[in-house]
Amino acid sequence: MTRKQKRGVLIGTAVAILASAAIMVAFALRDTIVFFQTPSDIAEGKVKSGERFRLGGLVADGSVERGQGTKVKFAVTDTLQTVPVSYEGILPDLFREGQGVVAEGRLDANGQFVADTVLAKHDENYMPPEVAAALKEKGVKLGEGAKHPGAKTN
């Protein structure tokens, strides 16, 4: 093999791998990303039916129904709109009324959000940035723990 051919094979392989990776990334980004929506977004009709998305907001006070078989029901609110959610399984330990939550799933025909995942978090004070931003956008005042997740206040 000449020097030119050697270089050609090396560069060709590298370019081929990079190009196929780029194509895969482009397709994957089109097909697999899920959007983050708030209850107000749903009320405004921003969510297509059957589309998979992430729902974020606060767990509405007094909405959690546990202990009825393996199904759990609760509602997610951004204080302007509220969406009922059903979930089969065991809720994360830090799931609590009045706290931020992110769930992933789809809307059913009755406007109920059927979640297959409720994101666990490890820190009580942690508020997912999307939830914090979405609530701020809606003009909701947050407690100090939520404004600066984990910030030491003393």
Q: Which residues bind other proteins (CB under 8 A)?
A: 1, 3, 6-7, 9-10, 13-14, 17-18, 20-21, 24-25, 27-29, 31-36, 54, 66-70, 72, 88-91, 93-94, 102, 104, 119-124, 126, 128-130, 133-134, 148-152, 154
Nearest approach, Cβ of residue 107 and other proteins (Å): 17
Q: Which is nearer to other proteins, 35 or 61 (CB)?
A: 35
Specify the amino acid at residue 13. T
Min separation Cβ 76 and other proteins, Å: 15
Task: Give the Cα separation of 147 and 154 in Å (integer).
Answer: 15
In whole angstroms, the minimum distance from the beta carbon of 109 to other proteins comes to 24
Residue with Cβ nearer other proteins (84 or 149): 149
Q: Which residues pair with 82 in a beta bridge?
A: 77
Give 143 or 150: the residue with its C-beta nearer to other proteins. 150
Q: Closer to other proteins at the Cβ: 70 or 109? A: 70
**CB nearer to other proteins: pick between 75 and 101:** 101
**Three-class SS state of 104:** strand
- Work out how close the CB of 70 gets to other proteins at its nearest, in angstroms, rounded to a whole number: 5
- Least distance (Å) from other proteins to the CB of residue 2? 10
CA pair distance 139, 22, nearest whole angstrom: 40
Q: What is the DSSP string of 46-83?
A: -S-TT--EEEEEEEPTT--EEEETTEEEEEEE-SS-EE
Spatial distance between the Cα atoms of 132 and 148, rounded to a whole number of angstroms: 9
